[in-house]
Structure formats: C-alpha cells, structure tokens
C-alpha cells in the first residue's frame, strides 16, 4: 500500500464524475483578503462617519461661537460708538472749558467789580468766531447806574487790560443801563500797539 | 464559474474535500460534522456515530437484512448525522484473492475503477468492482472483487431513505490491509536495527462480523490468502479457527499469528492456542477497531 494512502480506507462506491479536488490552501488568501477588505471598509466607513459627525458638530459649535462673537462684536461696536459719542461730547466740553477759560477771569472781574448796592440784570460774553481776541461784551445794569458801569469797565481795563471798542450805552426806563462793546486784550509792554490801537479804534464810551 | 462555486470559495468549502472525494480522509471530508459508520452483514447491521470531535459513539446493532433495518432505523440515522453521510462496510458478496506479477503502472488504480477489463485483462469479470493493493516489498498483490449489484442496491437503498453513502468498503479487507501495514512497519523497524535478521513467518487474520480474511507472509512475500464470508457467529468462533489451523500448520509452528477483530472477541485467541499449543498469537485489536478504519482515524 502506498504510504500516502496508508490511512485512507479503500472505496468502492459509485464515483460522482464531477468531484472536485480541494483548492490549494494558499488561495484561502482570496476570501480572507476579501473579508479583511470588507471589515476594513466597514471600519473606515464607521471612522469617516464618526469624523463627519464630529466635523458637523464642530462646525455647528463654531457657527454658534461665530454668531456669539458677531453679537459681541455688534455690542462692542455699539458701546464703542457710545463711548465715541461720549468722548466727543467730553472733548467738546473740554474745548468749551478751555475756550471759556479766558472768559472766566473776565466774568470774575465783572462780578467782583459790582458794588453791594448795584444789581446786574444781564451779562453776555461772546468770543468772535473769526478773531478769538475779540469778545462781544453785553451788560445790563438794573441798579447802580453809570457809576457802576464805569467801575466795571475801568476794572476790566486796569486789572485785565481789556479795552472796549465800538461801545454803545443805552439808558432805559427805571435807571437801567444797557451796555455793549467789543473787548480786546491789550499788551501792556508794547506801547506801539497801544498807540496803534488808539489810532485805529474808537474810544470807549465810558472815557468820553 | 457558477454562483455556487463562488459561494463555496467564500465560505471556505472549496478548500475542504468534498464528501464524495474518496481520495480524502473521512475526517477531512466531514470536519466538525457527525457521520455514521455502518457494518452491513447479510443478517445484521451494526453502527456507531462519529461525533463532531472525532470520537466514536457507542456501538449499536440490529438483526435483520439491511432493507428491513434501514426501514426501521433510517429516520433515526438521519437524526444522528449532519447531512446523512454514512461510511459503509460490506460483509458479504466480496472475494479477496492473492495475485502475482500484476502491472503496477501509474494510474492503474484509477483505471481499475473506471475500466477493470483494461486494468486486469482476463482476470476482470463483468459486474464486479475491484480494489488492488500491492505489496511494496514483493511482486504480490491483494485484489478485492465486490459485486457491483450489491453496491448499487446499497447506494439506492440509502438514498431512498435520505442517507448519503460517502464510502463503501469491505471491513475485513480493510482490516487485513491495516494488519499488513503494521507488519511492514514492524519489519522495517526490525531490519533497521538488524539488517541481516530474519522476520520469519507471519499469519494475519482479520475477523469482521462473520467474515474472515487470512494472509500468510514469509519474510517480505505474501504467500497464501483465504477469505470467507458468513463463516462464524459471535457464539461460534470455531469455524474461523478451523480455517486458520491448516494455514498455521502449513506455515510452521513458529509462525506468529496476528489477529484483528472488528470488535473484541477475547475467546478467539484462547481457541487458537488450545488447538496449537505454544502458538504465538497476538490480538492487535483496539477499541472501536472497525470504526477507526472506516473513519480513517
């Protein structure tokens, strides 16, 4: 007996003509490879699906954050605008305060020049838009009369060196006096300016 | 290529031997499947299940002709198997002969199955199926001839009852070949240790449910063969001993007798020794002997 067939019992049955021999074992790689490919494809699909879901969630999150950021930006812009407006107003206030600083000494000097018996009904100080040196001065004295007006104009000239030009004085009923003039500050140290000013401008009404 | 072929590749069936593939061992044809091993005598059928793990189940038997037994047990046998596959040993309608100087050309075994006349010439008879086993150490061969009609009827009967025949063999002949293999292996080992030694005379006897095959061997030569069916019963083993005694006497009193049974028969060796005092007799039967041969275990 052939040693190869030693363990195989003989067979007398009717042979089926189409009995096939087993395929070589190496060909098991084909189905194994196919199954592995399928498993890998499923795994990759699952991974990609998971990543797709993660990406969508991340996108939604970022969109939410973007919307929140835009809302915050709009709020900040609004706040910035409000602050800018406030700043503008403050700047205007600062400019007004700075601009009114030369007027303050005028105002204080006028108030201090008032005698206790005198009364000031109205006082106006308006700086010329084109020439800041010129101040339109209006004053209405309800009591105290011309004396008070002369004192006040004199103090402005002596203490602050303001000289009135184009002065107009009007006596009204009840002893009230309405006075208006253009005040221009004089430089005391340069007499040529005084002379020039005196030559080109009219004399204040109080000096008449 | 058919869809079935692709399916078989994908479920790895194509890499296993087909159930009908007689060139593959039984256990490789039915891996992890139950099958049935039957021994069919003229008036008795014995069987046992080959379990999924390759172990043999408990033996069972029923008196009666196969036709009657299968009608009674067919449904139960189908339940015992996965797919109804059976390996059947025939104990009748066969003849074993000792031939000398038969051709040993390649492909003769296949030709013997398809065209016995072309393989055996005048020795071939119509209506017979043959199996040939050569002695690799000499010019002798064993030739098994079995009635084709018996095989065809057996296959039809099994098919009729929803069973499939995966193998039809002659148990006594298969056991005799197993004995011859064991002797040849023992000789090889013995001669390897002592190349000049004489192995002497050996008488091999296989007993399978009433059938007996006996083969005498002198050194490497097969010298004499006798085979009988329905020779003995379990209750009366004397006819088997009667057949062997002349062969033992002819071979000489120093001959070594090896006996193999399909199932254990402890009294047979004693009978031989009582008839030939001083005879060297070895019973090489293992538990489930025939089942192991039928399942190539």
Tens-place pLDDT, residues B183-241 = 999 999 989 998 888 888 999 999 999 999 999 999 899 999 999 999 999 889 999 99
Q: In chain B, whose CA is at the least distance from the CA of A24?
A: B15
User: What is the structure's pLDDT at B162?
Assistant: 93
Local confidence band at A192 (pLDDT 50, 70, 90 cut-offs): low
pLDDT in tens, B119-171: 888 888 889 999 999 999 999 999 999 999 999 999 999 999 999 999 999 99
User: Is A129 in the same domain as A202?
Assistant: yes
Q: Do A16 and B20 touch (CB under 8 A)?
A: yes
3-state secondary structure of B114: helix
Specify the pTM. Answer: 0.66
Query: Pick from B258, B250, B249: which is nearest to B280 by CA?
Result: B258
Q: Pick from A40, A74, A100: which residue ends a domain?
A: A100
Percent of chain B whose pLDDT exceeds 90? 69
Residue B147 sits at the chain A interface (C-beta within 8 Å): no
Q: Which range has highest mean pLDDT (A119-133, A193-207, B83-97)?
A: B83-97
Instruction: Kindly report the nearest CA distance between residue B265 and chain A, in angstroms.
Output: 23
Point out the residue among A13, A21, A28 whose CB comes nearest to the CB of B12.
Answer: A28
What pLDDT is stored for residue A7 in this prediction? 65
Tell whether B179 lies on the interface with A, counting CB pairs under 8 A: no
A4, A5, A6, A12, best to mutate vs chain B, most B CBs in 10 Å: A12
Do A13 and B22 lie within an 8 Å CB cutoff? yes
Interface of A with B (CB under 8 A): 1-2, 6-16, 19-23, 25, 27-28, 30-31, 34
The three-state secondary structure class of A140 is strand
* Same fold for the pair B3-90+149-169 and B172-294: yes
**CATH architecture for segment(s) B3-90+149-169:** 2-Layer Sandwich (3.30)
ipTM of the complex: 0.89
| Contact call for A10 and B24, based on CB within 8 A | no
On whether both A135 and A160 belong to a single domain, the answer is yes
In a domain, A24, yes or no: no
In a domain? residue A171: yes
> DSSP string of A76-135?
HHHHHHHHHHHHHHHHHHHHHHHHHHHHHHHHHHHHHH--TT-EEEEEEEEE-SS-TTEE
A93 and A141 share one domain: no
Can you tell me the distance from the alpha carbon of B272 to that of B248, in angstroms, rounded to the nearest whole number? 10
Chain A residues within an 8 Å CB radius of B187: none
Question: Nearest CA of chain B to the CA of A35: how many Å?
Answer: 9
Are B294 and A9 inside 8 Å of each other by CB? yes
Residue among A15, A16, A25 minimizing CB distance to B15 = A25
Min Cα separation A9/chain B (Å) = 6
Inside any domain, residue A108: no
What are the C-alpha distances in Å from B263 to residues A183, B106, B240, B270, B271?
150, 36, 15, 16, 17
Whether residues A137 and A77 fall in one domain: no
In A, which residues are within 8 Å of B90 by CB distance? 12
- As a whole number of angstroms, the distance between CA B66 and CA B153 comes to 10
Task: Point out the least confidently predicted range of A91-105, A149-163, B103-117, B269-283.
Answer: A91-105
| DSSP-based helix, strand, coil % in chain B, nearest 5 | 35, 30, 35
Among A44, A78, A100, residue at a domain's last position: A100
Range of the domain at A191: 114-207
Tell me how many domains chain A contains.
Answer: 2
Domain identity same for A118 and A199: yes
pLDDT in tens, B53-110: 999 999 999 999 999 999 999 999 999 999 999 999 999 999 999 999 888 888 888 8
A1 pLDDT tier (thresholds 50, 70, 90): very low
Q: Which chain B residues are within 8 Å of A15, Cβ to Cβ?
A: 20, 22, 113-114
Buried b (16+ CB within 10 A) or exposed e, B95-127: bbebbeebeeeeeebebbbeebeebbeeebeee
Between chains, do B168 and A12 touch, taking CB under 8 Å as contact?
Answer: yes
Q: Going by DSSP bridges, is the β-strand pair B280-283/B211-218 parallel, antiparallel, or unpaired? A: unpaired
Domain boundary among A100, A122, A148: A100
CATH classification code of B172-294: 3.30.420.40
Query: How far away is chain B from the Cα of A17, in angstroms, using its nearest Cα?
Result: 10
> Domain for residue A82, yes or no?
yes
Same domain as A119, residue A95: no
pLDDT value of position A76? 96
Closest CA to B271 of B247, B238, B248: B238
Between chains, do B296 and A9 touch, taking CB under 8 Å as contact? Answer: yes
Interface size, chain A vs chain B, as Cβ–Cβ contacts under 8 Å: 89
Question: Quick check: helix, strand or coil at residue B226?
Answer: strand
- Best probe of the B interface among A6, A9, A35, by most B CBs < 10 A, is A9
pLDDT at position A186, please? 84
Q: Looking at residues B244-266, what average pLDDT do you find?
A: 91
The domain locations on chain B are: 3-90+149-169, 94-148, 172-294
Higher pLDDT, A172 or A206: A172
Nearest CA among B171, B174, B170, B168 for reference residue B86:
B168
pLDDT at A2 over 90: no
Residue contact A28–B15, C-beta within 8 A: yes
Are the C-beta atoms of B146 and A10 separated by less than 8 Å? no
Half-sphere exposure (Cβ direction) of B102: Cα atoms closer than 13 Å? 27
Q: Are B211 and B172 in contact (CB under 8 A)?
A: yes
B34, B51 contact by CB (below 8 A): yes
CB B96 within 8 A of CB B143: yes
- With an 8 Å Cβ cutoff, are A1 and B294 in contact? no
How far is residue B122's CA from residue A120's CA, in Å, rounded to a whole number? 165
pLDDT category, B179, cuts 50, 70, 90? very high
Q: Is residue A191 over pLDDT 70?
A: no
A84 and A120 assigned to the same domain? no
Residues 6+ apart with CB under 8 A from B260: B175, B176, B178, B179, B204, B205, B206, B207, B283, B284, B285, B289
DSSP string, A178-205: EEEEEEEE--TT-HHHHHHHHHHSPPPG
pLDDT in the model for residue B129: 93
């Amino acid at each position: 007996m052939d040693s190869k067939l030693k363990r195989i019992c003989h067979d007398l049955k009717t042979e089926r003509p189409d009995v096939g021999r087993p395929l070589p074992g190496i060909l098991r790689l084909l189905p194994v490879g196919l199954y592995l490919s399928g498993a890998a494809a499923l795994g990759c699909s699952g991974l990609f699906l998971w990543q797709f879901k993660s990406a969508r969630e991340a996108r939604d999150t970022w969109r939410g954050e973007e919307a929140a950021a835009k809302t915050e930006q709009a709020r900040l812009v609004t706040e910035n605008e409000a602050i800018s407006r406030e700043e503008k107003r403050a700047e205007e206030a600062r400019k007004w305060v700075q601009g009114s600083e030369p007027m303050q000494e005028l105002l204080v000097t006028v108030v201090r020049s008032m005698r206790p018996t005198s009364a000031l009904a109205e006082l106006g100080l308006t700086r010329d838009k084109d020439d800041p040196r010129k101040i339109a001065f209006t004053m209405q004295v309800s009591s105290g009369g011309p004396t008070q007006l002369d004192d006040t104009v004199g103090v402005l000239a002596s203490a602050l060196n303001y000289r009135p030009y184009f002065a107009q004085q009007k006596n009204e009923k009840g002893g009230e006096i309405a006075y208006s003039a253009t005040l221009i500050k004089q430089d005391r140290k340069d007499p040529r300016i005084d002379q020039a000013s005196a030559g080109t401008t009219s004399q204040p009404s109080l000096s008449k | 290529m058919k869809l079935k072929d692709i399916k078989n590749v994908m479920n790895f069936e194509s890499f296993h031997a087909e159930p009908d593939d007689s060139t593959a061992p039984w256990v490789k044809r039915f891996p992890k499947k139950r099958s049935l091993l039957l021994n069919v005598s003229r008036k008795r059928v014995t069987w046992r299940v080959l379990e999924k793990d390759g172990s043999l189940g408990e033996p069972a038997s029923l008196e009666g002709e196969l036709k009657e037994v299968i009608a009674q047990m067919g449904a139960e046998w189908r339940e015992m198997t996965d797919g109804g596959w059976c390996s059947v040993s025939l104990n009748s309608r066969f003849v074993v002969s000792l031939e000398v100087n038969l051709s040993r050309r390649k492909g003769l075994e296949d030709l013997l199955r398809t065209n016995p006349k072309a393989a055996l010439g005048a020795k071939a008879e119509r209506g017979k199926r043959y199996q040939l086993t050569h002695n690799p150490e000499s010019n002798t061969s064993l030739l098994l001839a079995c009635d084709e009609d018996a095989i065809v009827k057996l296959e039809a009967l099994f098919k009729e009852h929803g069973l499939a025949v995966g193998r039809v063999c002659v148990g006594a002949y298969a056991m005799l070949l197993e004995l011859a293999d064991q002797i040849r292996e023992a000789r090889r080992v013995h001669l390897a240790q002592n190349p000049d030694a004489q192995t002497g005379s050996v008488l091999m006897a296989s007993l399978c449910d009433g059938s007996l095959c006996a083969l005498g061997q002198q050194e490497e030569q097969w010298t004499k063969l006798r085979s009988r069916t329905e020779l003995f019963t379990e209750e009366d083993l004397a006819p088997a001993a009667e057949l062997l005694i002349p062969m033992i006497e002819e071979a000489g009193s120093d001959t070594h007798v090896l006996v193999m049974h399909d199932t254990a028969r402890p009294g047979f060796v004693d009978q031989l020794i009582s008839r030939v005092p001083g005879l060297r007799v070895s019973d090489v039967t293992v538990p489930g002997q025939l089942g192991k041969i039928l399942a190539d275990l």
